[in-house]
Amino acid sequence: MSLHVSRVIISASQKGGSGKSTLLANLAVEAAKDSSPGEVALIDGDPQGTLDRWYGLRPTEDIQGYRMLFEDLLRGIDQLKTQKKIKYIFVDTSAANTQSINQILKIADLVIIPAKASKADVWSASKTANLLKEQNIPFTFVLNMVKPRVRATDGAESALSFLGAVAKTRIGDRSIYADSLGLGLSGPEADTHSVCVNEMFALWKEVKVYLSRHNRVAA
């Protein structure tokens, strides 16, 4: 008999505007496509309320959306975990106060750290990564807003790979990600012919493989 366990996927980075909310929303949609109704929850834990607004615009109810104050996050995640149906809980966090969100990050099955291919992003991502490493919190970097044929991307990837896992899937710099967020959609939902369809599918597949290999609860 296997025990029910919800997997918690948190986006975090001290760097503002690195793509935390965008990647998380897109991954939550991929998870929902891959799940039965009611199995995916999304918590907006950032006072900016980006994903709360996004969720409010969403034309479908395939994802259960919540907005929580920082101080309520731990309890809120715990409560969602008791709902037997929920398979995936996605949590968006703010750029500020990464030290203080430590206690939230500790319960993550996977922390996604988006990083652009720039020195500033790599430095900032490495700070977040070191914090997670100190506590054995599983994480992966995701190169985001990647421009085609820019050599700095390979340099950033190799710098990040010294610090931890880097997702094989790179997320391109595509206006569809920005445009779709304002419509309550993911990139792939807004343009089914875009290259973003394959890349987001591939990133979700990587996340899923990671989660299946690192199951905290023994069957």
The contact set with Mg ion (CB under 5 A) reads 20-21, 50
Q: How far is the CB of 147 from ligand ATP (least distance, A)?
A: 10
Closest by Cα among 137, 142, 138 to 121: 142
Q: How far is the CB of 143 from ligand ATP (least distance, A)?
A: 10
Q: How far is the CB of 83 from ligand ATP (least distance, A)?
A: 26
Q: Which of 6, 10, 12, 21 binds ligand ATP (CB under 6 A)?
A: 21
Q: Residue 62: name its binding partner from ligand ATP, Mg ion, none (Cβ under 5 to 8 Å by kind).
A: none
Binding span for ligand ATP by CB under 6 A among 34-42, 134-142, 172-180, 207-215: 172-180
Tally the residues of the chain: 219
Identity of the residue, 24 or 176, whose beta carbon is nearer to Mg ion in the bound complex: 24
Q: Residue 178: name its binding partner from Mg ion, ligand ATP, none (Cβ under 5 to 8 Å by kind).
A: ligand ATP
**Is residue 57 within the footprint of ligand ATP (CB under 6 A)?**
no
| C-alpha triplet 95, 21, 107: angle, nearest 5° | 70
Do residues 81 and 41 touch, judged by C-beta distance below 8 A?
A: no
Sign (positive/negative) of CA torsion 173, 174, 177, 179?
positive
**Is residue 150 within the footprint of ligand ATP (CB under 6 A)?**
no
Do residues 64 and 40 touch, judged by C-beta distance below 8 A?
A: yes
What single string gives the DSSP state of each residue in 82-140?
HSTT--EEEEE--SS-TTTTHHHHTT-SEEEEEE-SSHHHHHHHHHHHHHHHHTT--EE
Q: What gap in Å lies between CA 187 and CA 178, rounded to an integer?
A: 8
Q: How far is the CB of 24 from Mg ion (least distance, A)?
A: 8
Instruction: Considering only residues 27 through 56, tell me which ones interact with ligand ATP, judged by CB under 6 A.
Output: 46, 48, 50
Contacts to ligand ATP by CB under 6 A: 16-22, 46, 48, 50, 94-95, 144-145, 171, 173-174, 177-178, 181
